[in-house]
Amino acid sequence: MSPLLKGMVTVAAVVAAAGAGLWAGQTGLVTLPIPANTAMTGMAHPQAKGPIIYYRDPDGKPLYSLTPKSTDGGQPYVAVHAGEDVSFDTPKPAATEAAAGNAAQGERKIIHYRNPMGLPDISPVPKKDSMGMDYIPVYEGDADESATVKVSPGKVQRTGVKTELVGKREIGRNIRAPGVVELDERSVSVVAPRFDGFIDKVGPVTSGTHVKKGQPLMAVFGQELLNQAARLLVEQDYGPGNDELPRSLRVQPAGVVGARRRLLNFGVPEEFIEQIKRERKVPDTISWPAPRDGVVLERNAVDGQGFKAGDVLFRIADHSVVWVMANVAEGDLGALKPGQSVKVTTRAHPGRVFTGKVAVIYPHLMKETRTVRVRIELPNPDLALLPDMYADVDIATGSDEPVIAVPVSAVIDSGARQVVILDRGGGRFEPRDVKLGRKGDGYVEVMSGLQDGETIVVNGNFLIDAESNLQSALKGLTAPPADEARR
């Protein structure tokens, strides 16, 4: 037999064997063993039970829809029932779960039926919603859980819920306000003689110049000063009880004001009085000194000018300490108190920060701007801050002691109420009404409603509201009593 003929016979034999095996498998004469992992593949999917909750892409892509739809290729989306949704809870045998549920339901009374979608709607009798879904019965034993939202761990993971322990911390907040530099009212002095006279000569001082305390401002003449200065010399020469003095020049009894006291009452410097005693001579004029260090704000004196008692000839102010008057908004008034630290910046000195403290919070509100004036005292040794200069004020406010505080993102504020979501573990979340206080640094003080150590949701609370219909839990706060629900 030639090699070609042998090859053809071999191929024919293989084809015949394959055909016989295929016929035997189809007729059931031969049963092939199937690996265990292959046999379990068909059982890996959860049992399809319960209502349809959404539709998924047939090719396994991460695409979902709440309503039936088709892919671009025309394939319909696959319906996902409630029993097929992802859950990390340990499944119970169906028979055991059904038996336990029937026993428990047989022992408890139904209070009412609630909406299956979590809407705030209840019914005393069984009914269906607009989508044909049955209302869920609420039993007497579920009363304590009426304000609790149950979310599967899978949904919690998908929504990115984050929790945090409630603790105490110091809450700080900076209040920013515009301000204007002003003079310290206590550092302003005026030169106003207490006698009538004339100005003989004004010193080399003008408005805006800086003077030192005791520096001569002007030389003045006053007849009353000369009379009392002469009487001072007479009293010094003759002393008390001398009968040689005329009656008008005798020293008065004790308790009567003498020449020295009268000169002091006129505002004459002590040095001028001692000069008269030392030189035994009354000068025609007296050199009037500056009462303090400062800048001359006003000069009303000229050579040869006459003046009356009380006329203001000079006005001098010390700029070593200045005020900054800040206008703080009405809403920030509750966080202010004297002694708080303040930082002030000006356009004239960019990058330089002046530090001071809140001195006075004025007890009245400016109705035009709805602001309150706050006085801030600042040292000004180099006279960098000038009156009427604009300033930006930064007031550090906050609590002196740690208080219970939560992140601002943890609070659901509807305007009428403030709620935080409490994590009770096991996928259970409870809304809790809270009373809020001060805010600062991304945190808000909780005055009531929470305790130190509790766990709250700080991120994803609005997603819990949307995913699990938080209104179904909040309805427990406004649901009618059981007696009314049975009517």
Beta-bridge partner residues of 190: 315
The answer on 385 and 325 residing in a single domain is yes
Instruction: Answer for the pair 68, 77: CB distance below 8 angstroms, yes or no.
Output: yes
CA distances in angstroms from 214 to 165, 209, 380, listed in the order given: 67, 15, 22
Q: Is residue 25 part of a domain?
A: no
CATH number of the domain residue 159 falls in: 2.40.420.20
For the chain, state the CA radius of gyration: 48
Q: For residues 307 and 219, state if they share a domain.
A: yes
pLDDT value of position 412: 86
Over the stretch 110-161, which tens digit does the pLDDT of each residue have?
Answer: 877 877 776 667 788 898 888 888 888 877 655 445 567 777 777 777 777 8
> CA nearest 218: which of 197, 204, 232, 233?
204
Domain check: are 410 and 479 in the same one?
yes
Among 398, 418, 449, the domain boundary falls at 398
Helix (H, G, I), strand (E, B) or coil at 150: strand
- Alpha-carbon span 476 to 185, nearest angstrom: 62
Which of 398, 421, 449 terminates a domain? The answer is 398
Main-chain phi, psi angles of 180, to 5 degrees: -135, 135
Which DSSP category does 444 fall into? Answer: E
Of 383, 398, 413, at which residue does a domain stop? 398
Domain containing 254 equals 193-311
Residue 52 within any structural domain of the chain = no
List beta partners, residue 112: 138
Residue 288: inside a domain: yes
Are residue 237 and residue 305 in the same domain, yes or no?
A: yes
Total domains present in the chain:
3
Q: Indicate whether 299 and 221 sit together in one domain.
A: yes
Q: pLDDT per position in the chain (487 positions), as tens? A: 555 555 565 555 554 555 555 445 544 544 444 444 433 344 445 556 677 878 888 887 878 788 888 888 888 988 887 766 554 444 445 445 444 555 555 567 787 787 777 666 778 889 888 888 888 887 765 544 556 777 777 777 777 788 889 988 888 888 999 999 999 999 999 999 999 999 999 999 999 999 999 999 999 999 998 898 888 888 877 665 445 555 555 555 444 458 888 999 998 988 888 888 888 888 889 999 999 999 999 999 999 999 999 999 999 999 999 999 999 999 888 889 999 999 999 999 999 999 999 999 999 999 999 999 999 999 999 999 999 999 999 999 877 788 899 999 889 887 888 888 888 887 778 888 899 988 888 888 898 888 888 999 988 877 766 655 544 544 544 444 445 444 5
With respect to residue 229, please indicate whether it lies within any of the assigned structural domains: yes
Q: Does the reported pTM lie above 0.75?
A: no
**Together in a domain, 221 and 180:** no
Let me know if residue 216 belongs to a domain: yes
Whether residue 222 is contained in a domain is answered as yes
Which residue(s) pair with 149 in the sheet? 429
Secondary structure E strands in 300-417 = 306-307, 314-317, 321-329, 341-345, 354-366, 371-379, 390-398, 403-407, 411-413
> How many CB atoms are closer than 10 A to CB 395?
23
- 475/416 same-domain check: yes
221 occurs within a structural domain = yes
Could you tell me if 199 and 244 lie in one domain? Answer: yes
Q: Are 430 and 455 in contact (CB under 8 A)?
A: no
Pair 384, 447 in one domain: no
Within 13 A of 482's CA, how many CA atoms are on the CB side?
Answer: 11
Q: In terms of domains, do 286 and 357 share one?
A: no
CATH of the domain at 278: 2.40.50.100
Evaluate whether residue 88 is within a structural domain.
no
Domain match, 390 and 305 both = no
Same domain membership, residue 299 and residue 382: no
Q: Is 331 helix (H, G, I), strand (E, B) or coil?
A: helix
